[in-house]
């Protein structure tokens, strides 16, 4: 096996494995190093996303939503369920199977595209513009060389000082996906994507969930109108969301965790929970990379410093995904990985940060792209807004899920779409039309004039675009 490569990618998550595949497609002799292990110690490429993030959380969200439909929603459809039971072990087993299928799929793609895979932890030894030595610490330590290096080492869950993760009582996303028994009382610190998704999973399965959020507003990055609607709907489901909370002492006992906190009014409380999920963000993962050994520059927050093209301060060393600036999203990492591989090949790889969609996979789902109304106001941009509720959408009525709305924001003069925000059924799929439209700098009128299938949820998108010009047809 050759140990000299044109491109070596350190990290096999969405940014890393996609970068490796694209580099191989472009004719480079490519290797990818990844250290994730499955239960048997074998390779499990795919990073946090595949192993303890996007993929397993969606599997559990789907399973728990089925359970909630069976226990509460089916009766409305004339489907009577008797003797409903929960086999949590089997549910978690299905989640693990989905993860393994994705792991195996990536290994297959490496083989198909002739990417050499090394199972272990990659780190810099030495190097310059002529090439880099990379150590692979795995079952057997070895050294490989590369002309170009792409660092895609991802991120780690951020811990609260004094409340380190033990993954038994105090849980990160990893532990939150593997609770072996539904807790009676579950605490969640942080009302972000992970907190809301994991809180939703365990609430549906029977836990009493309390969410503690330090910020005074719910989902501050989301359009305010959409965020308020989402908070109302999630609260109605039974998710207790407390905003403006100041966390005090956290103590883990033998079988429970106590959390001292003050609420937005300054009143003191102590919450007793069977399990506590801490989801307060993530930190870039540069542990063991030996960045300092080769002079790889990190910024003041610990991210690898890169320019707009993902170039680091070292010649022929690039970095993508969660370990660099920008949103910590798997699809953002993938786009950067492709762009870097193409730049190495002398092409003009491109990533448009303005059209990267965001999704929260609660029920209803929350998805958005572009500017929020509060951002446009702050920037002094003149805009028009149009909304359309799923309550007035025929397909949503037939589904029995009429919660939420679609919202369009367009430039007041040119009608160019500046942002689209959705809370409602299948928002994660509906947002793609908005992304395509914005990438082509479409106007709200363009979407309003396109024929959408009837009955479909996508008609709500068309109607919201029509509403920008105050001419919605079904509301």
Give 363-422 pLDDT, tens digit per residue. 999 999 999 999 999 999 999 999 999 999 999 999 999 999 999 999 999 999 999 999
For 245-270, write each residue's pLDDT tens digit.
Answer: 999 999 999 999 999 999 999 999 99
Cα–Cα distances (Å) from 217 to 214, 229, 231, 234, 243, in that order, read: 9, 13, 10, 15, 6
Q: Give the C-alpha separation, 321 to 15, whole Å.
A: 6
pLDDT of 139 reads 86
Structural contact between residues 333 and 320, judged by C-beta atoms closer than 8 angstroms: yes
Cα three-residue angle 305-308-309, rounded to 5 degrees: 95
Q: Which residues are catalytic?
A: 454
Q: What is the pLDDT of residue 140?
A: 85
N-to-C CA span, the chain? 65
Residue 2: phi, psi to the nearest 5? -65, 140
Q: Name the pairing type of β-strands 268-273 and 257-262.
A: antiparallel
Sheet with 417-424, edge to edge strand ranges: 358-360, 365-370, 417-424, 405-411, 383-389
Which residues share a beta bridge with 383?
Answer: 411
Cα torsion 101, 106, 110, 116: sign: negative
Residue 2's pLDDT is: 56
Whether the CB-CB separation of 18 and 54 falls below 8 Å is answered with no
Give the global pTM.
Answer: 0.97
421 contacts 221 by C-beta, under 8 angstroms: no
281 CB neighbour count, 10 Å cutoff: 12
pLDDT in 10s for each residue of the chain, 475 residues: 459 999 999 999 999 999 999 999 999 999 999 999 999 999 999 999 999 999 999 999 999 999 999 999 999 999 999 999 999 999 999 999 999 999 999 999 999 999 999 999 999 999 999 999 999 999 889 999 999 999 999 999 999 999 999 999 999 999 999 999 999 999 999 999 999 999 999 999 999 999 999 999 999 999 999 999 999 999 999 999 999 999 999 999 999 999 999 999 999 999 999 999 999 999 999 999 999 999 999 999 999 999 999 999 999 999 999 999 999 999 999 999 999 999 999 999 999 999 999 999 999 999 999 999 999 999 999 999 999 999 999 999 999 999 999 999 999 999 999 999 999 999 999 999 999 999 999 999 999 999 999 999 999 999 999 999 999 999 9
Question: Which pairs count as long-range contacts for 289-298, CB under 8 Å and 24+ apart, including other chains?
Answer: 289/10, 289/122, 289/123, 289/124, 289/151, 289/153, 290/123, 290/124, 290/125, 291/124, 293/124, 293/125, 293/126, 294/124, 294/125, 294/126, 294/127, 294/132, 296/124, 296/151
Alpha-carbon torsion (340, 345, 346, 347), positive or negative = negative
**Contact, 156 vs 51, CB < 8 A?**
no
Integer Cα distance of 255 and 271 in angstroms: 14
């Amino acid at each position: 096996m050759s140990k000299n490569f044109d491109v070596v990618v350190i990290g096999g998550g969405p940014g890393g494995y996609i970068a490796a595949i694209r580099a191989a497609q472009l004719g480079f002799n490519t290797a990818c190093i990844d250290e994730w292990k499955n239960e048997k110690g074998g390779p499990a490429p795919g990073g946090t996303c595949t192993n303890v993030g996007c993929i397993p959380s969606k599997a559990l969200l789907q399973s728990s939503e089925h359970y909630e439909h069976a226990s509460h929603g089916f009766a409305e459809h004339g489907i009577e369920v008797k003797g409903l039971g929960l086999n949590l072990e089997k549910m978690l087993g299905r989640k693990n199977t989905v993860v393994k299928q994705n792991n195996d799929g990536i290994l297959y793609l490496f083989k198909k595209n002739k990417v050499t895979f090394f199972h272990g932890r990659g780190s810099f030894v030495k190097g310059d513009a002529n090439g880099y030595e990379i150590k692979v610490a795995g079952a057997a330590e070895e050294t490989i060389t590369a002309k170009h290096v792409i660092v895609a080492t991802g991120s780690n869950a951020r811990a609260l000082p004094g409340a380190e993760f033990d993954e038994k009582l105090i849980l990160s996303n990893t532990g939150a996906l593997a609770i072996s028994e539904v807790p009676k009382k579950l605490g969640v610190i942080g009302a972000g994507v992970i907190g809301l998704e994991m809180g939703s999973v365990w609430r549906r399965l029977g836990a009493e969930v309390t969410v503690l959020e330090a910020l005074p507003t719910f989902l501050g990055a989301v359009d305010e109108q959409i965020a308020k609607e989402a908070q109302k709907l999630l609260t109605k489901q039974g998710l207790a969301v407390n905003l403006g909370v100041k966390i005090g002492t956290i103590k883990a006992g033998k079988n429970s965790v106590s959390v001292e906190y003050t609420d937005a009014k300054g009143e003191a409380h102590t919450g007793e929970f069977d399990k506590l999920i801490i989801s307060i963000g993530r930190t870039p993962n540069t542990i063991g990379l030996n960045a300092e050994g080769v002079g790889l520059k990190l910024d003041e927050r610990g991210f690898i410093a890169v320019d707009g093209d993902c170039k680091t301060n070292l010649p022929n060393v690039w970095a993508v995904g969660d370990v660099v600036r920008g949103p910590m999203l798997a699809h953002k990492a993938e786009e950067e990985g492709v762009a870097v591989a193409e730049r190495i090949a002398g092409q003009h790889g491109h990533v448009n940060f303005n059209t990267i969609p965001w999704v929260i996979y609660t029920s209803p789902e929350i998805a958005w792209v572009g500017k929020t109304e509060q951002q446009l106001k702050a920037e002094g941009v003149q805009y028009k807004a149009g909304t359309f509720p799923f309550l007035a959408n025929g397909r949503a009525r037939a589904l029995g899920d009429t919660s939420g709305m679609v919202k369009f924001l367009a430039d007041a003069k040119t009608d160019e779409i500046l942002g689209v925000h959705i809370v409602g059924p299948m928002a994660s799929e509906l947002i793609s039309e908005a992304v395509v439209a914005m990438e082509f700098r479409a106007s709200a009128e363009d979407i309003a004039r396109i024929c959408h299938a009837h009955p479909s949820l996508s008609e709500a998108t068309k109607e919201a675009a029509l509403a920008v010009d105050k001419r919605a047809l079904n509301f």
